[in-house]
Structure 1
């Protein structure tokens, strides 16, 4: 791999880390790393699931998730895979409506272009989350 490609991969990893800092509440400017044409996809089985497009879609996705649950992501692995950044880890927190705790495995697949997130696929241990969301 040439030096330029190595630098780009490191830059992509740094962008994704900055977004996790936003998700975990330590980087208030993290949302600015979303490309205006961003797409976000999550399993439609979850209440906030579906596909979201553009900055408004990204905001709706973030609001839907953060209104339903409080969670923090623990990164267990973060690596470059071609033009994607893959993160596997855990999401831990509680359901806002009931206070019920959860600890679920999850994987996020990111695409970064020009220092901004252009695509995010979110996979979470769905049966566990659905059980936690029950009243």
Structure 2
């Protein structure tokens, strides 16, 4: 049986390979995906296509080598927390960024129904300016 932590782990593994289809494989059609205020993709996006277009496509377009390095997953049952570090170079400035991050995932019925990001947006902003 696939657990919620397995589903989130599979998302991160697909992300590391740059495979957007696999990243979104277990994402609910009604997912509410929130990138925090102050982050380049700030807002709440509803549905996998909105997430792909407004988060992953934007990061891929604006950053060189943008990636999330997972350090640990915390199993909270229907909520899973991913802790790690963002890395990348902002294309327009050539400045590198490294910022710690926490992702809170909400799952229901084997699907990701919610995501919320917490990161140091000042470090991201400094790379962008």
User: Shorter-chain TM-score category?
Assistant: 0.7 to 0.9
Alignment of 1:109-128 (within 5 A): 109-128=104-123
- Report the more deviating stretch, 27-36 or 79-88: 27-36
> Residues 73 and 47 of structure 1: is their aligned pair in 2 closer, same or farther, counting only changes over 3 Å?
closer
* Among 101, 105, 128, the residue aligned to 2:100: 105
Alignment of 1:1-135 (within 5 A): 11-25=3-17, 27=19, 29-60=22-53, 61-69=55-63, 70-134=65-129
Deviation at 1:34, TM superposition (A): 1.1
Q: Which runs of 5+ in 1 are unaligned?
A: 1-6
Tell me the distance in 1 between the aligned counterparts of 2:124 and 2:106: 25
Structure with larger Rg: 1
TM-score of the aligned structures, taking structure 1 as reference length? 0.82
In terms of fraction of residues, the more helix-rich structure is: 1
